[in-house]
Amino acid sequence: MFDFSTSHFLIPDLLLLIFPFIVIGSRLFCNAQSKMPWRIANFGFIAIFILLNFIPLASGEGRFFISNWRIDDFGVLMREVLLVSAILGMWFAKDYFEHGADGKPQMHQIAEFIGAIAFATFGGVTVVSACDMLTFFLGLEIATIPMYALTAWNKKDQLGSEAATKYILMGSVATAFELFGFSYLYGFAGSLHFSEIQTAVASGTSPLLWVAVLFLFCGIGFKLTLFPFYTWAPDVYEGAPTPVTAVLSVTSKATAIAFLVVLVFGPLAPIQEQIAPLIALLAGTTLFVGNLGALKQSRLRRFMAYSSIAQAGYIMVALLGPAATAKTAIIYYLFVYAVSNYLAFFVFGIIGHHREETFASLRGLSKQNPSLAISLAISMFSLAGIPPLAGFFGKFHLFYSGASTGHYMLVAFAVLNNVLALFYYIQLIKSAWVDEPDGHLTPLRLTRRQRAVIVALSIAVVALGFLPFLSNNIVAGFSF
């Protein structure tokens, strides 16, 4: 159909760029109740995802478009992760436009909502394609700014507005850090282009470079919710509408980690060994604090916030490894994380449509709706990393990557933390499986779409774990 060996490999990116305008534009031609934008959005996202799968993976430098838009294997797979996240996020959000949930009013303007998600996705795509600092920075901002808007989507919701205010204020400071870091990096290397920066870094270091590194890591630490820059996350996750929380915890996190991967294995590759202690410290403190925070929560979304903070810490562990191992581990884990996390959110979403989003609402779930309880258990066990579910193999890859450059202390610490994590994930399962049902809880009803998505995601989590070799072609079958 398409010959992707020439510049046709750009087609998915171009489609993704114009796609939000089409979705938003379609609103002009139909009334508010029309399903047209929703259908276009579904078709568009899925089509782009399928097109991406046609791009043959090729090792080496990747392909260039006007010298500063590069598509390599990591980029292609990151695009797939981002699109999976966008599609699942969109499906998840749909219910919230039909009726309110968790004490919040119904949301409106689905076309614009999907447009915002698409912009954020495009931002992520820009980050993984960038070859110079300007594009890189722009990508990060394109990915972040729609998130501010999404957080405040419910204009009538006080908590949402408050969360968005906090988010945007803190985000601006983080952006300032980023820019500061970039400017020092430019000052050090005298060029915006990654390859030239890499050459400059390889030929010698100076305090300028270290200041740049410090500020870049601190800035991205905000987006990746690293310690101690994570403080916005619990409040924003709690205040934002649930689907936005889900998108934030996957798309935004994936973009941020992609940013770090591009940075650490690109321009900063020559000094990876010197910044390893910083990465290790960030990873260790983040996963520990995330786990500690999650221990004491009773609201589901706040709980997921801390859980995703801890997950960010685990992902950071992989950054210590050699490039190929680390990229493989991170991509695989992001797939697994996206699937497990969305599965958890879908279950919570269904609870939230009928009840409050708290642990207490899960009581007796195994009696009222066993299949939902099983899905919940699968996603929690996967996030906790119990074999043979996907989460275990994902974590194994991450730890293996960290261990292969000899960071055994950190890996040991992370593995021990996993026991801690098991403790709180089991709390949730206990609520669903052991606690007696509460007569006051309203019964749950699932629509066909919800049921289908939950079944598909549960199967995906189990299948990715039972048959990790199925994913050979997307994980281990290529080399960076």
Partner 1 sequence: MINDITLSYLIFLLPLLTFVVNGLFLGNRNAKAAAAFAIACNGIAAASAITVAIHYFTSTYAPQKATLFEFNFLPFAGDLVAKIGMLVDPLSVMMLVVVTFISFMVNIYSLGYMREDRAMGRFFALLSLFSFSMLGLVVATNLFQMFIFWELVGVSSYLLIGFWYHKPSAVSASKQAFILTRFADSFFLLGIVLVSYVIGSFDFSTINSLSLSDFRSGTINLGLIEMSQASALVLGSILIFTGGWGKSAMFPMHIWLPNAMEGPTPVSSIIHSATMVVAGVYLVARLFPFFAACGDSLTLIMWVGAFTMVFAAVIACTQKDIKRILAYSTLSQLGYMMFALGACKIGQAVFTTGWTASTFHIFTHAFFKCSLFLIAGSLIHQVHTNDLDAMGGLRKKMPVTYICTLISVLAISGIPPFSGFFSKDEIILAAFQGQHYAVFALALLTSGLTTFYMFRLFFLAFHGEPRHEGVRAGHVHEDFAMTLPIVVLAVPALLSGLLGKGLFEKYFTPGNLHVPVMLKLAHAEWIPFVAVAVAIIALLIAWFLYASPKAKIERALDETNRSGIYKVIYHKFYFDEMYYTVVRQFIFGGIARVARAFNDYVIEGLLAFSVWFIHKLGDLVRTAQAGYLPFYLGTLIVGVLLWRFFGQLPL
Applying the rule CB under 8 A, the residues between 389 and 448 that interact with partner 1 are 392-393, 397, 399-400, 403-404, 406-412, 415-416, 418-420, 422-423, 426, 430, 433-434
Q: Which is nearer to partner 1, 47 or 169 (CB)?
A: 169
The site map against partner 1 for 156-195 (x = CB under 8 A) is ---------xx--xx--xx--x------------------
Q: What is the DSSP code string of 210-228? A: HHHHHHHHHHHHHHTT-TT
Binding status of residue 388 toward partner 1 by CB under 8 A:
yes
Q: How far is CA 19 from CA 22, 40, 41, 45, 274, in A?
A: 5, 9, 8, 8, 42
Site size toward partner 1 (CB under 8 A) is: 74
- Name the token pair of 151: 């957080």
For residue 106, give the H/E element and its range. Answer: none
Tell me the C-alpha distance between 243 and 97, whole Å: 10
C-alpha to C-alpha distance for 15 and 379, rounded to whole angstroms: 33
Taking the complex as a whole, the smallest distance from the CB of residue 296 to partner 1 amounts, in Å, to 4
Residue 43 binds to partner 1 (criterion: CB under 8 A): no
Q: Smallest distance, Å, CB 135 to partner 1?
A: 25
Closer CB to partner 1, residue 234 or residue 241? Answer: 234
Q: Is residue 56 packed enough to be buried (19+ CB in 10 Å), middle (13-18) or exposed (0-12)?
A: exposed
Site for partner 1 contains 113 (CB under 8 A): no
Give the CA distances from residue 390 to residues 285, 421, 464, 470, in Å, rounded to whole numbers and listed in that order. 25, 16, 5, 12
Q: Is 138 in the site for partner 1 (CB under 8 A)?
A: no
C-beta of 264: minimal distance to partner 1 in Å?
Answer: 14
Task: Scan residues 256-315 and list those touching partner 1 (CB under 8 A).
Answer: 274-275, 277-278, 281-282, 289, 292-297, 306
Within positions 209 to 238, which residues make up the interface with partner 1, using CB under 8 A?
210-211, 213-215, 217-218, 221-222, 227-229, 231-232, 234-235
Q: Which residues contact 468 (CB under 8 A, 6 or more apart)?
A: 390, 393, 475
Distance CA 5, CA 161 (A): 47
- How long a stretch of residues is the chain? 480
Query: CB neighbours (10 Å) of residue 329?
Result: 26
328-387 binders of partner 1 (CB under 8 A): 328, 386-387
Residues in 449-468 that interact with partner 1 by CB under 8 A: 468
| Closer CB to partner 1, 101 or 174, in the complex | 174
Q: Least separation, in Å, of the C-beta of 458 and partner 1?
A: 14
Any idea which residue has 């740049």 for tokens? Answer: 212
Q: Does 9 bind partner 1 (CB under 8 A)?
A: no
